[in-house]
A and B are shown apart, each in its own frame.
Chain A
Amino acid sequence: MKYDVIVIGGGPAGLAAALAAKENGAQEILILEREKELGGILNQCIHNGFGLHTFKEELTGPEYAARFIDRVKEENIPYLLSTTVIDLARQENGVTVTAVSRENGLMTLEGSAAVLAMGCRERPRGALNIPGTRPAGIFSAGTAQRLVNLEGYLPGREVVILGSGDIGLIMARRMTLEGAKVKCVAEIMPYSGGLKRNIVQCLNDYGIPLKLSHTVVDIRGKERVEGVTIAQVDEHNKPIPGTEEDYSCDTLLLSVGLIPENELSRGIGVELSPVTNGPKVNESLGTNIPGVFACGNVLHVHDLVDYVSEEAAEAGKNAARYAAGSGTQEGVEIPVETGGAVRYTVPSRICPDRMEEELVVRFRVGKNMRNAWVCVYAGEKELLRRKRPVMAPGEMEQVKLKKEDLKDALSLRVCTEE
C-alpha cells in the first residue's frame, strides 16, 4: 500500500501536519515517532505559556500536546511509536521511508509525499571546546529537563548554567524550585538568547544572576564536577585575563543552542541552509525534492510552539495537495534576499503564482534593535514598511506578504533599516 502522506516525527509539528493533511483530503496518513509517546519535546516542557495564540489560554506543554494528540486519535490517523526512521529515499512518484522498531522490525513504507518534522537537538559540550576535565555532572539543559520532569531525578544540587537559551532559563527555575541552588547563568553574547519573559520569571524572580559576555573557561573535578571558572569575554569572545571567578558546583548545564536534526533530509538530497541548518523551502514549505515538505524545528528553530503548529499545518496541507496531484508545480520561484540585520527567511523562495492570497514569512535578526524598520521590497518597489519598537535575536519575527503585491515581482528582499 502507498500512503498519501508520511509524517516523520510525532511532536507538535508532525501532529499539526498530519491533522492538516487529513483536513485537506489525504486519506492514508502515517505518523512515525521515535519515542514511546506522541507529543515530542512538549512532554517534558511542563511549564506554562503554550497555546495563548492557538487556544487563547495558557497551557503547559503536555496539555498543549494532548489537544493535538486527542484530535489525531479522533480522526483515526494511524501512528507508529518507538519507531525510528533510518532512511528516506526518492522513488518515481514519491518517497520510500525505511524505519525500524522492536515490534515490526524493518519496514519499507511508500508515500506520495513526506513531511519532515523531526525537530532539533541540543548543541553538546563537544561542540564548545571548554577546557578542563571530563567529570560526571555536565548535562545539556534538555537532558536535565527530561531527568527532572519525566524520570523524577534531580541531577544536581549546586548548579551553574552556561548559555541563556530558553531551556537553560526554564531549568534555572525548575532546579531552584526542586531545591537546588543555581549560582548563575553565564552567556557569552552581550544579550540573552532567550525570551525576555523567561529572564523575568525564571531568573529575576529567584535572584539568579545573568552574567552577559561571560563564559566557562575551566571545569574542575575528577569523578564529579567540583567547580567551574567563569570569565568575562571581550568583543571577539576571548576571555579577558584577570576577570576569572571560581564557582563551586556539582553540575554544569549547557543551553547553548539547538540544531535542526537533518540527517534524513541530507540523505535524500534536500538542500540545507547554512544559516538555519534546516531545509531551504519555498512558499509551500516544499524542499527541492518534489513531495518532501518540512516544518517545525527541523526547518528552523522556533521560540513559540503556536507558530510551529501554524507552519506545520501549511506543510501538511501542501503535502496532501501534492499527494492528490492537485497542487500545481508550475510557475517561477523568486529568491527572497535578506538585508540589514535579517539573517534568514522561511521560505527562502516564493512562487507568486502558487502562493495563497497571503503568505507569512518568518525571520530572525542578528542583533538587538530598537525602533528599527522591517521593510520588504520587490525590486525597487517598497511593499511593506513596519516599525518595530524592539527586535532581538532570540525572538522570531514575521511579515505577511500579499499575492497581489508579488504579481510582477522579479526579486524580493526582506530587510531591516535603522
Chain B
Amino acid sequence: MPIIELTCISCPLGCPLKVETDETGNVKGVTGNTCKRGEEYGKKEVSAPVRTVTSTVRLTGGAAPVVSVRTKTDIPKEKIFACMAEIRKASAAAPVHIGDVILDNIADTGVALVATANVEKRA
C-alpha cells in the first residue's frame, strides 16, 4: 500500500505523519499524529489540501495604510494565487475591526476575507 510521509502543519509541533492509502487513493489510516487535527490534516493533505491565506489590503482614511486580512477558513490550496489576485485589487475604508468582512466568496471558494486587525480613522 502506498504510504505518504508528511509533516503536519496544524500546529507548531510539526508531527511526522504517515498516511496510508489504497490503490485508488482513498485514505486507510494516519499514524504519527498526536492529536485529532493531525489525523484530519493527513487525510485532507493527500486528497484535497487546504490552507488559510493571510495578507493585507489597502485602507483608505485609516491610521495605517493597510489592514491585515485572512480567509475566514481554509481554502483549497490551488486557489491561493487566485485569492491573492483579488486581495491585491481589494481595498477597505477605515475604520475596520477584527472580523469585518472585506470580500465575500473570495475566488469562488465560498469563503469570506475578513480583517484581522483594528484600524481606526486617521485623526
Contacts and interface: CB of A to CB of B under 8 A. Distances in A.
B70 A48 contact: yes
Contact of B116 (A62, A177, A197, A200): A62
Contacts of B21: none
A134 interface: no
Interface string B33-53: 000000000000000000111
A149 B56 contact: yes
Interface of B: 6-12, 14, 16, 51-56, 58, 64-66, 68, 70, 77, 80-81, 84, 88, 98, 116-118
Contacts of A199: 7
A166 B12 CA distance: 11
A47 B54 contact: yes
Given A200-B9, A205-B51, 16 more contacts: A47-B54, A48-B52, A52-B11, A53-B11, A60-B68, A62-B117, A66-B117, A149-B56, A149-B66, A151-B65, A151-B66, A177-B84, A178-B84, A179-B84, A197-B10, A205-B77
A196 interface: yes
Nearest to B9: A197
A383 interface: no
A304 B12 contact: yes
A195 B12 CA distance: 7
Contacts, number: 83
Contacts of B7: 196-197, 199-200
27 contacts: A46-B68, A49-B11, A49-B12, A53-B11, A62-B98, A62-B116, A63-B117, A66-B98, A149-B56, A149-B68, A150-B64, A151-B65, A177-B53, A177-B81, A178-B55, A178-B84, A178-B88, A179-B84, A179-B88, A195-B12, A195-B14, A196-B7, A200-B6, A200-B7, A205-B77, A390-B16, A395-B12
Nearest to A197: B9
Given A197-B9, A201-B9, A303-B12, A46 B55 contact: yes
Q: How large is the interface on A (under 10, 10 to 19, 20 to 34, 35 or more residues)?
A: 20 to 34
A46 B11 contact: no
A26 B70 CA distance: 37
| Residue among A197, A201, A303 facing the most chain B CB atoms (10 A cut-off) | A197
A105 B11 CA distance: 44
A151 B56 CA distance: 10
A263 interface: no
Interface of A: 43, 46-49, 52-53, 58-60, 62-63, 66, 148-152, 174, 177-179, 195-197, 199-201, 205, 303-304, 389-390, 395
A405 B52 CA distance: 44
Contacts of B64: 150
A178 B88 CA distance: 8
Contact of B98 (A53, A58, A63): A63
A304 B16 CA distance: 19
Contacts of A177: 53, 55, 80-81, 84
A152 B117 contact: no
B66 A152 contact: yes
B53 A201 contact: no
Given A47-B54, A148-B56, A60 B70 contact: yes
